[in-house]
Amino acid sequence: MISFSQVYKRYPGGYEALRNISLNIGAGEMVFITGHSGAGKSTLLKLLTAIERPTSGSVVVNGQNVGALRPRAIPFLRRNFGLVFQDHKLLFDRTVFDNVLLPLNIRGFRRGEAARRVRAALDKVGLLDKEKARPVTLSGGEQQRLCIARAIVHRPAILLADEPTANLDAAYAGELGSLFQSFNQVGVTVVIATHDENLAARLRPRVITLRQGGLMTTPEEAAAT
């Protein structure tokens, strides 16, 4: 479903964010990408969603070479993903309901069907009673759950999350973890960039560790080979 082969990413100025990354993520897997700040986790996600292009090597998603996509095709690549951002990126000028509606509007869903799906997604994350509220009135954890609702409302095949638990206390983080697990159980590929070790210990996902832009083999993988 996702494969990196010999990917390098060098930013202007010579900073090398990723070095010789080759990895495969299959459909329905749950994968954690860990590593210290600056190890290249975010860059990896940016390459996946075509926000950045690899300097060399290829990134393939669903059989499409992301680095070689024409600009016109990029929106359609991104529709494969549900994105959960560290800073939520919620729109504060509209209600909770309208925030979740945005991905469906972009895809041109009909009103009735869209409303049904938005409520289903809000129910899933436990915010159904707040659909008319403004995001500012929500707590940090609720805002993150709203962000997740927006990411899953269009039922993406791949859920990408960048530090979803960074600003949350342990109890909230645990709730989010089981939420991600439930999506994974219905077949969604889940990729989470995080350095939250508690979360990894609880969900027991496959872990890919980055160090200074390079790939570090996990002990389990080393044992397997």
If the CB atoms of residues 68 and 91 are measured against other proteins, the closer one turns out to be: 91
For the CB of residue 163, give the shortest distance to other proteins in the complex, in Å.
16
- Where in 54-73 is the site for other proteins (CB under 8 A)? 72
Tokens representing 36 are 């210290």
Q: To 5 degrees, how large is the angle CA 126–CA 94–CA 87?
A: 65
Candidate segments 108-116, 170-178, 191-199, 213-221, binder of other proteins by CB under 8 A: 108-116
Which tokens hold the place of 98? 């309208």
Binding flags for other proteins, 149-188, as an x/- string (CB under 8 A):
-xx-------------------------------------
Residue 45 touches other proteins, criterion: CB under 8 A: no
Only segment of 5-13, 88-96, 170-178, 198-206 that touches other proteins (CB under 8 A): 88-96
Q: Which is nearer to other proteins, 83 or 199 (CB)?
A: 83
Q: Which is nearer to other proteins, 162 or 196 (CB)?
A: 162
What is the pairing mode between strands 16-25 and 2-10? antiparallel
Residues across the chain: 225
Strands, DSSP E only, in the chain?
2-10, 16-25, 30-34, 56-61, 64-65, 81-84, 158-162, 189-193, 206-211, 214-216
